[in-house]
Structures are given as structure tokens and as C-alpha cells.
Structure 1
Amino acid sequence: MDLDVFVAAHQAEWARLEQLLGRGRRLTGAEADELVALYQRTATHLSLVQSSTPDPMLTGRLTQLVARARATVTGTRRSGWRDAARFFTSGFPAAVYLTRRWWIPTALISTAVGVLVGWWIATHPEIQNAIGAPEDLKAMTKPGGGYETYYSSHPAASFAAQVWTNNAQAAAICLVLGGFLGLPVLYILWQNMLNLGVGIGLMSSADRLDVFLGLILPHGLLELTAVFVAAGTGLRLGWTVIDPGHRTRRVALAEQGRAALGMAIGLAAVLFLSGLIEGFVTPSGLPTWARITIGVAAEAAFLLYVYVLGGRAARAGDVGDVERADQTATLPTAA
């Protein structure tokens, strides 16, 4: 396609569309019909330019023009409580459900790594000595030591807020940096499993593994599940860079990126709940069985939420992306 000839042929239509969009008064019926027709034509022109001669300046101009015309034709849509309700009852659980083939293997492999690290540390005294001096390790693992007092070292509210912030940040990093082929995600997973393994190993060597599990399970089940979901989503985003499927890489990354952004919001709410459990339940005076029961119940509720609501929404066609009306138009691609 000769770009100069194309611009010369359609310049008058674009100028007329800009004129109609720039009017401060209400359009007449004829002018409104003309604006809709010019909007549709200009959108077609933009698709042709993007597919055959992607000139940056012309593409930018037509993209801006089409966006302004679309906003005028369709009106500005404001988000409200209905959108929030739809997100938490359909979009977010559907996105988690659809990424289960990524985060479930991530959870299983990561947990296995954490347990192996813990076993390695527990059965090798020389590794324990490399972690810290014997008196320091004893101070951490003894009754009333560092591992036990950690959860009650600060007021419950401030501790819960601090935990939530740290975990939400880790989850966000997994989601945002997943596009770098998933490598930052693997690093964050390793750091989390290494910390878990060290705790398992040191407390097991002191014959106090039951105490450690009683402290970690109430909040850790839901907390680690959220981290695994974020990591699985990040790895999926990284794989999209390598293999976008039948879509163009730009379209595939845009779709997965929007879903990941929504996932970050949803997981922040999940981690807020786990932070409350860690701040108020874990250090409480409740019996160990009661604290663990609360953690198991929270985990079970989340999995039911994902598999019941999320599965139903996914089967209805929801993929966790923004509504179709809010998506940018894409070019058709061959399957």
C-alpha cells in the first residue's frame, strides 16, 4: 500500500471527524450519524495501516482519533460497585481457576523444595553451623525463642499490616516481572522456600517441628497459596513472551497483562486476610488445633471459591480480562 496515496485519499475524512469531535455544542442527528460512519471508517483505516504499513506517526494519530470518537459514540463508562462485585464473584476467581495448570505444579514443586531444604539442614549439623552460631540457633529454637516470639513481637494490627505489605509486594513483583521470561519469579520462589526450609530444618533439629508447624500453618496455607498463584501467573506471562499461541505477541501480552493486573488486586485481598490471621490468630492463646483449623478453613474456603465460582465463570467464558467493551480493537489473526 502506498502510504502517501492512502493519506491523500482519506485526509478529508479524518479532518471532518476531528471537526465533529471538536464541536462544543450538541450534534444534530445528521451530524451524529456522520460521526458514527466516520468513526467506523477511520477504525478500518487504522487496522489497514497497522497490518500493512505501520507508520508510527500515522498510527498514533489515527489511534488517538479513533479513541476520541469511540468515547464520544459509546459514552464514558464509569466503574462502580457493580464492577467490583463482578470482579470478585467472576473475573478474579475465573482467572485463578484458568491458571491452575501453572500455580498448582508451582505449589507442589516449591513445597517439595522447601521440605527437601528443611530435611537437608536438619540432617547436616555442618549446614546448621554455617547458618549461625550454636548459641544463636538455640536462642531461636528454644521454647519462647525467636521463632515463637516473632509473631507477638509487635502489636497485632501493625504486625498484620506489615505482613500484608511485604507479601503483597512479593506477589506484585511476581506478576509484574513475570514478563522477563519468569526468571525473577523463580528467584522469589526460591527465597520463600529457602526461608521455609531453614525454619523446618532448625526447628526439626531441636525436636520442635510440631511447634513450628503450629505457628506456620494457620496463616501459611493461605499466604503461600496466594504467592503460588502469583508466581504461576507470572510464569504464564513469561511463557507468553516465548509462545503467544495463535495471537500476536502484543495482543497476547496485553490480554495476559490485564488479567495479571486484576490478579494483583484480588490477591491483595487474599493476602490481607492471611495477614489478619497471622497478626491475630497465630500469636493468640488458642490451642494449636484451633489455630490450625482456622487456617485450614480459610484455605478450603479459598479453594472452593476458585473452583466453584471461578470454574462456573470460566465455563461461561470469563477469562479474568476486562469487559469486551473496554478492550481495544484487535486485528483478526489466522488460527
Structure 2
Amino acid sequence: MDLDAFTAVHSDEWDRLHRLTRKRRLDGAEADELVRLYQAVATHLSTVRSAAPDPVLVTRLSDLLTRARVRIGGAHDPAWSDVARFVVVTVPAALYRVRWWSLGVIVVCLAIGVVAGVHVATDPAALDAMGPPEDREAYVEDAFASYYDPGVSFATMVWTNNAWIAAQCVGLGITGVWPAWVLLQNAVSVGATGGMMAAYGELDVFLQLIAPHGLLELTAVFVAGAAGLKIFWTWVDPGPRRRTVALAQEGRALITVAIGLAGALAVSGLIEGFVTGSTLPWWLKIAIGALALAGFWAYVLVLGRRAADAGFTGDLDADRAGEVVPTAG
């Protein structure tokens, strides 16, 4: 198809539809014309997509049809079905796409944490680096446990802080440095703290207070770091896509990851605020944390795989994201 000739033949109709969508008031004849032109331009868009998918023209017609559709049907108020679709399809699809990155980051960070913990627990010089003896003893005997103060304000503070860290890992992932630093800092900090508690014979207390919320909380931080590193790697190696297109597609999908992780961190915040410091038996606290973690991975692997098999990636659909030039693989 000759795209220039096609555009020359139909541009008057497109311009007329554009003018009608911009008018504040339409009479009966203009309203009928708007509907007729909407149907015609929808046919034009379908023809262009199938015969000559020029991204500029496809985006122009898609935007024009979107404005016309809003004018015909009125502004769209988000429905509960849209929210449910986002939660059940879009978010798990985005999380599922980074599952292998997440697994790799989790394994590496756990290894770093264990090494840091063993180093502090067995090396007197490393233990001394954790602070003066009196400060270490006060932390082990009182400060560590008293930090977990049950209540709404504590849960909210924990959630907002962790959600902000996760959002930074994704949003600044293009640097490659920030998510790597956050992951390293968290792994070393948690491991060293556990090592210090072990050196004073309080490893059981450490595990009992970290495990209930930490299973899900640390997983969410690790997944956020993995998402950030994936954006960085997309910049380094975009594959068959143009670098700008690849970054735009991955960036949009991984922002969805950040939103999903905010929900996971809200759950871990509730556990930290109302379970970790409670008087419940330690085994029940850990069981609650393990159940929350299992629920998260079931959400990612079951719903995410189903969404991925249906073709969803966590990115916007073509009409909202804009068309791209097809690229040979």
C-alpha cells in the first residue's frame, strides 16, 4: 500500500474528526458526523496496521480515535473491573517477567548476608567494627527487640520507608549503581546484625524477630533491586529492539513491578507492626511470615504465568504506549 497516497486521500476526514473532537458543543448533525467519521477512521487504522504499520501514523490515528471515543461515550471513570485486571493480570505479569533476575539476586544477597554474618560472629576485629562493647550489648539485650513496637504508626512508617526504597531501586535502576548499592547494603547490614547477635548467643532472638516480616520484606526489596538491574541491562543490551524502544517498554513494565511491590511491602509492614513484636508464640509468628511469602510467590508464579501465557507483559497496551517500528529478530 502506498502510505502517502492513502494519507492524501483520507487526511481531510482525519482533520474533520479532529476538529469535531475539539468543539465544545455539537449539534445533532455534527454528532452523527462524529460517529460516522469515528467508524471510518477505525477502519483506516486497521488497514494501516495490517498493510503498512507506520508507527507515526498509527499513533496519530490511535490518539484521534481515543479522543473521539471519549467524546462519543463520555469520559471513562475507572471501574472496579479495571482495578481487578491490574491486580490480577498486569502486576503478576510484570513480576513474572523478572522472576529469574529476582531468583539470582536473592541467591547472591543471601550468600553475602551469610558471609557477613559468619565474619562478624567469628572475627573479633569485625565484631569490634560494629561499635563499642557497651553499645553492642545494649543493642543485643534491649534495642533490637524494643525496636518492634506494635501499632499502626510503626507499621505505616515501615511500609512507607520500604516502599520508597523499592521505588528508588526501580526508578534509578538505569544507573546500575543504585540498586546494586541498596542490595549490597541490605545484605551486609542484615547479615552483620545477625552475626553480632550470634556472637552474644542471641541468634534465636534475631531469627524470631526477623523471620515473620523479613521473609516477605527482604524478598520485595530483592525483587525491586532485580527490576532495577534489569532496566540497566536493557540499556546495555537491548537485544533486537532499538535501545530507546526497549528502555521505554521495560521501564513502563517495571514501574508496574514497583507498584506491585508496594502492596507486598504493605503486607510485610502489617506483619512487622502487629505480629513481630506481639506476644504470639514465635512459631506462629514465623508461620505467618512463611505463609505471606508463599502467597507472594503463588501470586507471581501462578497468576503471572497465566498472564504471560496470554501475552501480557505488564506494559501498556499498544494504543496507550504507542506503536513501534517492527524490527527483525
Q: TM-score w.r.t. structure 2 length? A: 0.85
Moved more, 305-314 or 11-20: 11-20
Query: For the residues of structure 1 that align with 2:127 and 2:109, how far apart are their CA atoms?
Result: 22
Query: For the residues of structure 2 that align with 1:118 and 1:269, how far apart are their CA atoms?
Result: 30
Partner in structure 2 of residue 319 of structure 1? 313
Partner in structure 2 of residue 3 of structure 1? none
Query: For the residues of structure 2 that align with 1:11 and 1:326, how far apart are their CA atoms?
Result: 22
Query: For the residues of structure 2 that align with 1:313 and 1:95, how far apart are their CA atoms?
Result: 9
User: Are the aligned partners of 1:90 and 1:310 in contact in 2 as well (CA < 8 Å)?
Assistant: yes
User: Are the aligned partners of 1:90 and 1:318 in contact in 2 as well (CA < 8 Å)?
Assistant: yes
Equivalent AA in structure 2 for residue 169 of structure 1 = W
Query: For the residues of structure 2 that align with 1:49 and 1:258, how far apart are their CA atoms?
Result: 18
Equivalent AA in structure 1 for residue 66 of structure 2 = R
Unaligned runs of 5+ in 1: 1-6, 51-58
User: Are the aligned partners of 1:259 and 1:321 in contact in 2 as well (CA < 8 Å)?
Assistant: yes
Partner in structure 1 of residue 193 of structure 2? 199
Map 1:250-269 → 2, pairs under 5 A: 250-269=244-263
Query: For the residues of structure 2 that align with 1:146 and 1:105, how far apart are their CA atoms?
Result: 33
Query: For the residues of structure 1 that align with 2:113 and 2:316, how far apart are their CA atoms?
Result: 36
Deviation of 1:209 (Å): 0.8
Partner in structure 2 of residue 19 of structure 1? 19
Deviation of 1:258 (Å): 1.7
Map 1:140-159 → 2, pairs under 5 A: 140-142=139-141, 145-152=142-149, 155-159=150-154
Deviation of 1:13 (Å): 6.8
SS in 1 for 2:83: helix
Query: For the residues of structure 1 that align with 2:107 and 2:270, how far apart are their CA atoms?
Result: 25
Deviation of 1:194 (Å): 2.0
Deviations 1:144-184 (A, max 9, x none): x11111112xx51111111001110110001111122x221
Cα separation, partners in 2 of 1:20 and 1:118, compared to 1, 3 Å: same
Cα separation, partners in 2 of 1:14 and 1:30, compared to 1, 3 Å: closer
Partner in structure 2 of residue 80 of structure 1? 79
Query: For the residues of structure 1 that align with 2:60 and 2:113, how far apart are their CA atoms?
Result: 50
Deviation of 1:124 (Å): 1.4
Cα separation, partners in 2 of 1:9 and 1:242, compared to 1, 3 Å: farther
SS in 1 for 2:78: coil
Map 1:204-223 → 2, pairs under 5 A: 204-223=198-217
Residue identity (%): 43
* 2:66 corresponds to which of 70, 80, 83: 70
Query: For the residues of structure 1 that align with 2:144 and 2:157, how far apart are their CA atoms?
Result: 17
Query: For the residues of structure 1 that align with 2:210 and 2:285, how far apart are their CA atoms?
Result: 10
Cα separation, partners in 2 of 1:41 and 1:90, compared to 1, 3 Å: closer
Query: For the residues of structure 2 that align with 1:32 and 1:66, how far apart are their CA atoms?
Result: 15
Deviation of 1:100 (Å): 0.7
Map 1:9-48 → 2, pairs under 5 A: 16-23=16-23, 24-25=25-26, 27=30, 29=32, 32-34=35-37, 37=40
User: Are the aligned partners of 1:36 and 1:73 in contact in 2 as well (CA < 8 Å)?
Assistant: no
User: Are the aligned partners of 1:121 and 1:128 in contact in 2 as well (CA < 8 Å)?
Assistant: yes
Query: For the residues of structure 1 that align with 2:208 and 2:227, how far apart are their CA atoms?
Result: 29
Moved more, 272-281 or 288-297: 288-297
Report whether the alignment pairs 1:185 with 2:179. yes
User: Are the aligned partners of 2:172 and 2:178 in contact in 1 as well (CA < 8 Å)?
Assistant: yes
Query: For the residues of structure 1 that align with 2:96 and 2:307, how far apart are their CA atoms?
Result: 9
Partner in structure 2 of residue 102 of structure 1? 101
RMSD: 3.1
Deviations 1:88-130 (A, max 9, x none): 2222122212211100100110111011111111111112222
Cα separation, partners in 2 of 1:319 and 1:8, compared to 1, 3 Å: closer
Deviations 1:175-203 (A, max 9, x none): 111122x2210011111112202211110
Partner in structure 2 of residue 174 of structure 1? 169
Cα separation, partners in 2 of 1:79 and 1:194, compared to 1, 3 Å: same
Partner in structure 2 of residue 235 of structure 1? 229
User: Are the aligned partners of 2:169 and 2:179 in contact in 1 as well (CA < 8 Å)?
Assistant: yes
Count of paired positions: 316
SS in 2 for 1:292: helix
Query: For the residues of structure 1 that align with 2:43 and 2:228, how far apart are their CA atoms?
Result: 36
